[in-house]
Amino acid sequence: MNFFDLFKNKKSYMCPLMNNHLHFSCRDALEPCCSANIGPAFIKNLSKIDSIKNFVEEKKKYIKLLKDGKIPEECKNCVHLTTYKKTNDFRINKITLNHYTQCNCACIYCTQGNRTIEKIKEDANKPVLFDVLKFINELYDNDLIDKEKLYIDFQGGNISCLKNHEEIINTFLNRGVGTIYIPTNNIVYMPIIEKLLRIKKGELCTALDSGCRETYLKIKQVDKFDKSVENIKRYIASAGNDSIIIKYIIVNGYNDNIEEFKMFMNKMIELNVKIIVLDIDYRDIIDGAFKIPQNYYDILDYAKETCKTNNIDLGIPPYTQQVFDRGYSCK
């Protein structure tokens, strides 16, 4: 065996999220990703520190491990791993803000813990875990951000319940950002979102999940269907419909009937919404052994047909499409 044969079968890996993403997590940690895998943490206990400078060293360690073919335990079997490609691009181009869980509704499917109306009232008074703004400023001060590409994803609870959201958004706008993505239940109208939409820096996504008040109330546990619809109308009137995405998450036994979906589609057409996303409740996708019933396919077919006729973009997340194609969810 010659010297080069020693390396012939050795694989080198990389992860684009490890290279370029940051996730401020409600586990009080700074992580490279917010994948279904709970990936590694660069830094834990953010609430107890003032600087995240050390994350660069940690990141280098993980990148080297992958390059050397040693997959960290937390990354094993992750779909984001790819074979190594040389790059000099390590600046941050996506930040996910997920450091808060406060919300003003209680979707029965929410992945942010078991939501009840009592619990959301309790949570509303709890302080956020840590001041994310000082860390964001530190990233800019140290030239660690790709300002043009930077994509911000507000996850968390709901942005309207994050007290300093305006200050955070204005910091990004002042210091350089590409796009700010705002998923929101849309119960509260927010002038800062209107501003982002108007200056073409923002995208709003709201999961309405229903076509009437009664179903909305069952799913979200608050009677705010009319308010949410009114807010969609206001944003479209003031900033256009280019960057407004309305989602329908099919929830087993709640809104999985074609009549409900038809009412939803009629509302979308009336509001002049141009982007719709159809999803399936993650709990059914992840839990496994869920056979997709015919009524889900009826909704899918109706969505395709009606969107085509009305010139509406229909988005189906790749994992949901796979489940539709396969006919069942499995791990």
Ligand X SMILES: C[S@@+](CC[C@H](N)C(=O)[O-])C[C@H]1O[C@@H](n2cnc3c(N)ncnc32)[C@H](O)[C@@H]1O
List interacting residues with ligand X (CB under 6 A). 103, 109-112, 155-158, 183-185, 205, 207, 247, 249, 279, 281-283
Q: Which does 249 bind (CB under 5 to 8 A by kind): ligand X, ligand SF4, none?
A: ligand X
SS (H, E, C) the chain: CCCCHHHHCCCCEECHHHHHEEEEECCCEEECCCCCCCCCCCEECHHHCCCCCCHHHHHHHHHHHHHCCCCCHHHCCCCCCEECCCCCCCCECEEEEECCCCCCCCCCCCCCCCCCHHHHHHHHCCCCCCCHHHHHHHHHHCCCECCCCCEEEECCCCHHHCCCHHHHHHHHHHHCCCEEEEECCCCCCCHHHHHHHHCCCEEEEEECCCCCHHHHHHHHCCCCHHHHHHHHHHHHHHHCCCCEEEEEEECCCCCCCHHHHHHHHHHHHHHCCCEEEEEECHHHHHHCCEECCHHHHHHHHHHHHHHHHCCCEEECCHHHHHHHHHCEECC
Q: How far is the CB of 74 from ligand X (least distance, A)?
A: 22
Contact of residue 323 among ligand SF4, ligand X, none (CB under 5-8 Å per partner type): none
Interacting residue with ligand SF4 among 27, 44, 53, 80 (CB under 6 A): 80
Provide, rounded to whole angstroms, the least separation between the CB of residue 158 and ligand X.
4
- Tell me the site size for ligand SF4, rule CB under 6 A: 23
Is the CB of 19 or the CB of 158 nearer to ligand X?
158
Nearer to ligand X, 190 or 207 (CB): 207
Q: State which of positions 84-143 bind ligand SF4 (CB under 6 A).
A: 103, 105-107, 110, 112, 115
The verdict on 307 binding ligand SF4 (CB under 6 A) reads no
Using CB distances below 5 to 8 A depending on partner kind, what does residue 324 bind out of ligand SF4, ligand X, none?
none
Smallest gap from Cβ 301 to ligand SF4, in A, equals 27
Name the binder of 155 from ligand SF4, ligand X, none, CB < 5-8 A by kind. Answer: ligand X
Taking CB within 5 to 8 Å according to partner kind, which of ligand X, ligand SF4, none is near residue 35? ligand SF4
Which residues in this chain contact ligand SF4 in the complex, by CB under 6 A?
15, 17-18, 32-33, 35, 37, 39, 74-75, 78, 80-81, 103, 105-107, 110, 112, 115, 157-158, 185
